[in-house]
Chain A
Amino acid sequence: MFHKLTNVTLALATSSFIVTASAADVPIVGNVESKCTITTDTPGIYGNPTPNELSTATVDGGIAPIVRYDVILAEAYKAVISYPESFSSSPPLNDTLTFTGSVSVSEVSDAQMSGYETAKREYNNVTEVDLTIAGSTWFKIDSGVTYGFDKAFPGGTYRAIVSAECIAL
């Protein structure tokens, strides 16, 4: 009788151990906090439609860079985007360069963000948009350059830098 009872107790203890072991918790911890993430969705490429012009416009054979802003918290950040006003690297140039450009909202993750395009502030080569709604906003940056007075660009690689900033409000 005692032997039988011991066996039962042992069996119960073992099964309890198995249950305990199989129920072990593996924690996954994550924090949702206010933040802004700047993502380069599409890198830009200059097309060369005429000898004296470089342009990111699709009709000119270029690709406009697209930058995405993700904000977790509404009304916490503003986007400040500048199109280039000089080349960061290029072949030697001996005449004036005229840079033009624009920044526009190309896509939004929330319909309420449609007002960003009309609410944007522009000065010099800078565009500012208050990111008043949580979600993702895609900005397209157009850039164009002409060289001298109908002068042909020398052969080589031309690079210019777009500045994308996210400033806490």
Chain B
Amino acid sequence: MRYIMCVMMMFLSLGYANAHEWTPTYPKFRASYMSGVMMTTMQLYNSRRDVEHYAFSVYDKDFNPIQFATAEQITSVNYLQRKTIEIYVRNKDISKGMYICSESKLIRNDVTATIVRSRICSKVK
């Protein structure tokens, strides 16, 4: 029953056109080409027609901001586009329970009907 529901949910999430998805849930860091810096790769999927921009942030376990680097801290993602985001964090800042988040950015004067800001945070275990 649960399996059928999961499959149905997959189809539903493909069919609906107003969703924000950020995976994996539990990212793992690996060595980057810079010494003292680790990196992880995240996937952003935008099926929100009303949102074209997403911002990224990294927090410790108490939701205090952590310095990080990525190609663009606010990036443009078209409707139904999937984008790979590389996040770089210093070795010394990596800790259990830190969060990597993506957040929809709404243009103040361009909000028509939808008034929902979505944010999804993955956790480093």
> Which A residues contact B (CB, under 8 angstroms)?
30, 32-41, 43-45, 65, 67, 70, 72-73, 76-77, 84, 88-89, 109-110, 134-136, 159-169
Q: Is the CB of B6 within 8 A of A40?
A: no
Q: Which of A32, A35, A65, A166 contacts B116 (CB 8 A)?
A: A65
* Residue B113, interface by CB 8 Å: yes
Q: Which of A76, A134, A161, A167 contacts B106 (CB 8 A)?
A: A161
Tell me the residues in window 87-120 of chain B with beta carbons closer than 8 Å to chain A beta carbons.
Answer: 99, 106, 108-109, 111, 113-120
* Residue B40, interface by CB 8 Å: no
Q: Is the CB of B13 within 8 A of A110?
A: no
Given A161-B116, A163-B119, A165-B118, the answer on whether A34 and B111 have CB atoms closer than 8 Å is no
Given A37-B21, A39-B18, A161-B117, the answer on whether A32 and B6 have CB atoms closer than 8 Å is yes
Given A89-B108, A136-B9, the answer on whether A37 and B19 have CB atoms closer than 8 Å is yes
* Residue B41, interface by CB 8 Å: no
Q: Which of A44, A70, A84, A160 contacts B12 (CB 8 A)?
A: A70
* Residue B5, interface by CB 8 Å: yes
Given A38-B118, A88-B108, the answer on whether A136 and B20 have CB atoms closer than 8 Å is no
Name the distance in Å between A47's Cβ and chain B's nearest Cβ: 14
Q: Which of A72, A88, A109, A165 contacts B119 (CB 8 A)?
A: A165
* Residue B16, interface by CB 8 Å: yes
What CA separation (Å) do A33 and B122 show in the bound complex? 13
Q: Is the CB of A65 within 8 A of B115?
A: yes
B48, closest chain A residue (CB):
A40
Q: Is the CB of B115 within 8 A of A134?
A: no
What CA separation (Å) do A38 and B119 show in the bound complex? 8
